[in-house]
Amino acid sequence: MTASEPITLPPLEDAFESVNLELTRPQDEAVAMVPGDFALKHQILPLMVDNGTLVAAVGSPLSLGAVDELSVLLQRPTRAVLAPAAVIKEKIEEIFLEKILAGLPGQSDDNNNIDADENTDLADLQKMAGETAVVQMVNLVFAQAVRDGASDIHIEPYEKEVKVRCRIDGMLRDMMAPPKRMHAAIISRLKILGEMNIAERRLPQDGRIKITIAGRAIDVRVSIVPTVFGERAVMRILDKGTAMLGLAELGIQPDTLERYRQIIKVPYGVILATGPTGAGKSTTLYASLQEIWSPTTNILTIEDPVEYQVAGISQIPVRAAIGLTFANGLRSIVRQDPDVIMVGEIRDHETAEIAIHAALTGHLVFSTLHTNDSPGSVTRLLDMGVEPYLVASSLIGAVAQRLVRRVCSNCSQPYTPEGEMLEGVGIVASEWAGTTPFRKGVGCEKCQGTGYKGRVGLYELFVVDEPIRRMTVDRASSNQMKDYAIKTHGMRTLLGDGKLAVLAGKTTPEEVLRVCQREAF
pLDDT for position 238: 81
> In 372-438, which residue ranges form alpha helices assigned H by DSSP?
376-383, 388-394, 419-424
Element (H, E) at 164: strand 162-168
Indicate the angle between helix axes 349-360 and 326-334, nearest 10 degrees: 20
- Distance between CA 375 and CA 479 in Å, rounded? 8
Q: Phi/psi of residue 419, each to 5°?
A: -60, -35
* 3-class DSSP state of 210: strand
CA 167 to chain centre: 8
pLDDT for position 205: 93
pLDDT for position 64: 79
Burial of 102: CB neighbours in 10 Å, binned 0-12, 13-18, 19+ = exposed
Q: Phi/psi of residue 405, each to 5°?
A: -70, 140
Closest CA to 110 of 44, 180, 40: 180
- Distance between CA 151 and CA 124 in Å, rounded? 32
Dihedral of alpha carbons 355, 356, 358, 363, sign: positive
- Distance between CA 315 and CA 313 in Å, rounded? 6
User: What are 365's strand-pairing partners?
Assistant: 270, 341
In Å, the largest CA–CA distance within the chain is 92
Strand order in the sheet with 53-58: 45-50, 53-58, 78-82
Q: Which whole-number Å values give the CA distances from 120 to 115, 337, 448, in the listed order?
A: 9, 53, 40
Q: What is the DSSP string of 132-152?
A: HHHHHHHHHHHHHHHHTTEEE
Run means of pLDDT, 10 residues per run, the chain, 521 residues: 47 65 84 80 85 87 81 88 82 67 44 43 60 78 84 93 92 86 89 89 90 78 94 88 75 94 95 91 92 93 83 88 89 93 93 94 94 94 95 96 92 88 85 78 85 92 96 95 94 94 92 79 37
* 3-class DSSP state of 345: coil
- Distance between CA 229 and CA 159 in Å, rounded? 6
* 3-class DSSP state of 458: strand
Q: Phi/psi of residue 178, each to 5°?
A: -65, 160
pLDDT for position 157: 94
* 3-class DSSP state of 190: helix
Q: Which whole-number Å values give the CA distances from 468 to 274, 324, 464, in the listed order?
A: 18, 35, 6
Q: Hey, what's the torsion of the CAs at 211, 212, 217, 219, to 10 degrees?
A: -20
With b for 16 or more beta-carbon neighbours within 10 A and e for fewer, the 393-430 pattern comes to bbbbbbbbbbbbbbbbeebbeeeebeeebbebbbbeee
Dihedral of alpha carbons 115, 119, 125, 127, sign: negative
> Domains in the chain and their CATH numbers?
28-83 (3.30.300.160), 129-240 (3.30.450.90), 247-515 (3.40.50.300)
pTM, rounded to two decimals: 0.73
pLDDT for position 520: 47
* 3-class DSSP state of 111: coil
> In 388-456, which residue ranges form alpha helices assigned H by DSSP?
388-394, 419-424
Q: Which whole-number Å values give the CA distances from 277 to 118, 221, 326, 369, in the listed order?
A: 33, 15, 18, 10
- Distance between CA 471 and CA 192 in Å, rounded? 54
